[in-house]
Amino acid sequence: MSNVYVMGVDMIKFGRFPDRSVPNIGAEAALMALDDAGLGIQDMQALYCGNLGQASGMVGQRILQEIGQTGMPVVNVANACATGATAFREAWMSIKAGMYDVVLAVGVEQMGKGLLGGAGTGDGIPKEGLLGSGTMPCVFAEAGMEHAKEYGTTFEQFAKISVKNHHHSTMNPKAMYQIETPLDDVMNAEMISYPNTKLMCSVNVDGSAAAVLVSEKKAKELGMARAVKVRASAMASDPYTDRDLVMPDVNACTRLAAKDAYEQAGIGPEDVNLVELHDCFATAEMLHYENLGLCKDGEAGKMIDEGHVELGGKVPVNVSGGLLSKGHPLGATGIANIYEICTHLRGEAGKRQVEGAKIGMTHVIGLGTACGIHILEKTS
């Protein structure tokens, strides 16, 4: 099976674009990624498009209607917050399978403002606020409180994660926000679902990201200078655990995908120089330090307290600003974090550059549950 390389990758600056269409927002990133690869839409052999909000709306084909209807096969995917990573992985798999040498993956989302989730109405009466809460800030608060129960993790430690990611985003011009949020501001912000305050919840934004993936043969033909090697592409669904059907278990799913990813890459967590992980809420990021093996179980609080996950630390996490400050356009997130890692591996991340980065990891998790992990490596 051929190795797979990212030859072009880019994202638009995340923001709110209520006057634009979903395909239009996706088309912009697609063109940017093509430019980055030095290729045109006519060079692509297939398109894998991730979008959640219009999952039945043929978004991939509508993107091509904006930038070039070559007749190539298009696959539209939806997989909750792992949608972008799923599109990328399908593209990767098509090259692994020997079907194609050059393919395009696009992730795009246009979000409203406000709370996501909510206990379903189904028949009868609404259950939200009656049988607990199905809102995302609450569901992830409950997951964080499970960690607090086990290890004594504090509200302040969760809040520090948000301080860190907002700080990182001040160095990322493509992030939705570039503002410092000191600890007091984070802890005193409006409480949404304890222990997640408003500044500890990801930002709903519109955005898109895209990547051109190529086979080794094609990468050599085009030149390896800025190519990034995909060392692993792993995906897991939620395995059975005792409470999973009532309290979605983001831990077991991530651990399963991480194990597979490390095995594929033939490396361990100690070899990873930076990570973009799924900080949909500050409480979630805490869990994934352990789930991804960045530290031992029970040491996540120490990771944030001692600065190991900051830019300049042992393994910087979410130097893009993460979902908390860069923003979280659901279908785009999984490719936007691949853009971030590639930018560091290419040494092009400017002020937030992780010096000497050779290997990076991306992680997303979509409740329901889908976890996608990619390990990427610098080639030159």
Nearer to other proteins, 126 or 350 (CB): 126
Which residue out of 168, 278, 308, 328 is catalytically annotated? 328
- Looking at 35-43, 241-249, 266-274, 364-372, which segment touches other proteins (CB under 8 A)? 241-249
Structure tokens at 237: 């669904």
**Residue whose CB is less far from other proteins, 130 or 225:** 130
Q: Does residue number 138 form part of the binding site for other proteins (CB under 8 A)?
A: yes
Q: 346 and 378 in contact (C-beta within 8 Å)?
A: yes
Find out whether 144 and 281 touch, Cβ atoms under 8 Å.
yes
- State the DSSP string of 301-362: HHHHHTTTTSTTSSS-B-TT-HHHHT---HHHHHHHHHHHHHHHHTT--GGG--TT--EEEE
Is cis: bond before 316, omega within 30 of 0?
no
Out of 32, 95, 116, 141, name the contact with other proteins by CB under 8 A: 141
Here the tokens at position 276 are 């973009």
Is there binding between residue 240 and other proteins (CB under 8 A)? yes
Tell the burial category of 224 from Cβ atoms under 10 Å away from its Cβ (0-12, 13-18, 19+): middle
168 is annotated as an active-site residue: no
d(CA 159, CA 47): 39
Interacting residue with other proteins among 43, 66, 128, 260 (CB under 8 A)? 128
Among 118, 269, 307, 313, binds other proteins (CB under 8 A): 118
- Which tokens sit at 70? 């070559």
Selected range binding other proteins among 39-47, 130-138, 167-175, 221-229, rule: CB under 8 A: 130-138
Report in angstroms how near the CB of residue 138 gets to other proteins at its nearest: 5
Look up 328 and say whether it is catalytic: yes
**By CB under 8 A, is residue 273 in contact with other proteins?**
no
- Residue 130 CB, nearest approach to other proteins (Å): 6
Q: Determine, following the binding rule CB under 8 A, whether residue 189 of this chain makes contact with other proteins.
A: no
Q: Which residue has the tokens 């490596």?
A: 377
Active-site annotation, residues: 81, 328
Give contact residues for other proteins (rule: CB under 8 A): 115, 118, 124-133, 135, 137-138, 141-143, 145-146, 148-149, 155, 190-196, 240, 242-243, 245-247
